[in-house]
Amino acid sequence: MNNIINKKKQIKKNKTFFLDRFPIITIIGIIGVAVIFFFIVINLLPLDFFSGKSDIIPEESDNYNIYFESPSKDQKFELVNNNETVPINIKSKNIEDIDCNIEVYINDKLIKTLEKNSLDFNWSPSSSDAFTIYARIIDTDGKPLYTSEKIDFSVDFRNEGVTESTTQTDVDIEKKKNDILSENNYRTQNANPVFSYKCYTPPVIDGNLDDWELYEKFTNFNPTIKKENYVNASDISGVFSSCWDEDNFYFFIKVTDDVVNQPFSGNLINNGDSVVLVFDGELEQDFNIPFLNGDDYQIEFSPGDNNGGSSESFVRWPSNSSLKNAVISAKKGSGGYTIEAGIPWFEMPKIAIKDELITGFTISLLDTDNLDSTELVMSSSRSFDFNNVSMLGTLIFIDVGDLEENTETEQ
């Protein structure tokens, strides 16, 4: 009997033991659910909802990165006038998957907000000065995710004052350029676009620089073919300008070259010191075609051969013949040469010249010093291949009014 009572007691004890604990388990369960819910809510709310800690960055942001390819640290830009610009090239890492923009600050002032896929532009400084540039990745709420290193650089205008008075015009020109750049397709990764202004008075083709003061100067040539032979800027470098009207494309190139050597003429000029211009006339339509086709032109210019022959040009593509109707003037000296030329548009009939025309374009400097063939090629695009137009940079033809008149009336 006692045994039975004891067993019953034991069973009862076990039952109460379990039932006593049951509410505790329930409470723990409720707390657990509450905690999980709490974290879900936190994640759904902006980060600074609790306590304003806006500098808390998601873990993976450690991998975001942006840095400047141009300007480089302490780089000095020597600009001829206000039409010249400083190329800003930003590289990014691991921002493909986040919704963000890039803000660019110069001297702590926001100068531009870029889309993450288009991180190159030309900046027009207003005067000679020292500058500090940095960029931030910002998310769609404007919250900064990453700030780049600060890069110091300087700008020195050689003709300070001469074009200072054209500020108002420059603003309009910059706006027109930016509108074109933001509304069109071009190969931004190949090179910063170069602008060719319409001229209201054509340059005098005499090999002299005088009439190029108002036009954009391009100097940022890169070693592209046989680049292991590149020594320094006195080996080979250049300053390029161009302009246009309804009749002709005009350009001026000043080539610095330690040894001017052109043993050849006619269809061999591309083996000696020479310059080659490549146009893709229908950039938009041919965006995915790497080979040269019917609207492309590859035109070579020689400053004249070693025997005192005159300057000449040769169309390598599409016709493989000399360029008969171009007007060319060249000057050779001990430290290089200049070529000034006007090419009638009828020699490049597939380029339908008009305001805001965008073409694929690269100008390359072919340098021969001591050998019988090209030793090094410097190009206006980051890479260059004679047979691949998808490596070309961009030339944009724009009409910004009569620059000469603007300068005269404002002075």
Least CB distance to Ca ion at residue 209 (A): 7
295 binds Ca ion (CB under 5 A): yes
91 backbone dihedrals φ, ψ, rounded to 5°: -110, 150
Q: Please, which residue, 95 or 365, has the CB nearer to Ca ion?
A: 365
C-alpha span between 310 and 312 (Å, rounded): 6
Q: Please, which residue, 162 or 327, has the CB nearer to Ca ion?
A: 327
Number of residues binding to Ca ion, judged by CB under 5 A: 20
Q: Could you tell me which residues come within 8 angstroms of residue 187 by beta carbon, excluding any fewer than 6 positions away?
A: 360, 390, 392, 393, 394
Q: Please, which residue, 176 or 350, has the CB nearer to Ca ion?
A: 350
Options 188-196, 300-308, 311-319, 339-347: segment touching Ca ion (CB under 5 A): 339-347
367 binds Ca ion (CB under 5 A): yes
Total residues found in the chain within this entry: 411
* Side chain identity, residue 40: I
Least CB distance to Ca ion at residue 182 (A): 24
347 binds Ca ion (CB under 5 A): no
Chain-centre distance for alpha carbon 316: 28
Q: Please, which residue, 120 or 340, has the CB nearer to Ca ion?
A: 340
Q: Please, which residue, 370 or 409, has the CB nearer to Ca ion?
A: 370
| Interface residue with Ca ion, options 79, 86, 104, 236 (CB under 5 A) | 236
| Interface residue with Ca ion, options 120, 216, 235, 312 (CB under 5 A) | 235
| Interface residue with Ca ion, options 84, 257, 300, 305 (CB under 5 A) | 257
Q: Please, which residue, 42 or 204, has the CB nearer to Ca ion?
A: 204
Options 176-184, 290-298, 380-388, 390-398: segment touching Ca ion (CB under 5 A): 290-298
Binding mask 24-53 for Ca ion (x = CB under 5 A): ------------------------------
C-alpha span between 407 and 311 (Å, rounded): 33
CA 238-241-246 angle, to 5 degrees, is 150
Options 9-17, 105-113, 303-311, 359-367: segment touching Ca ion (CB under 5 A): 359-367
151: which strand partners? 133
305 binds Ca ion (CB under 5 A): no
Give the residue ranges of DSSP H helices in 45-166. none
Q: What DSSP designation does 218 have?
A: B
Least CB distance to Ca ion at residue 219 (A): 16
C-alpha span between 347 and 314 (Å, rounded): 12
Which one, of 74, 81, 89, 84, lies nearest residue 165 by Cα? 81
| Interface residue with Ca ion, options 259, 268, 327, 357 (CB under 5 A) | 259
Q: Which H or E run contains 183?
A: helix 167-183
Q: Which H or E run contains 361?
A: strand 357-367
**Alpha-carbon torsion angle 317, 319, 322, 327, nearest 10:** -70
Q: Which residues make up the interface to Ca ion (CB under 5 A)?
A: 203-204, 206, 208, 211, 235-236, 257-259, 261, 273, 280, 286, 293, 295-296, 340, 367, 369
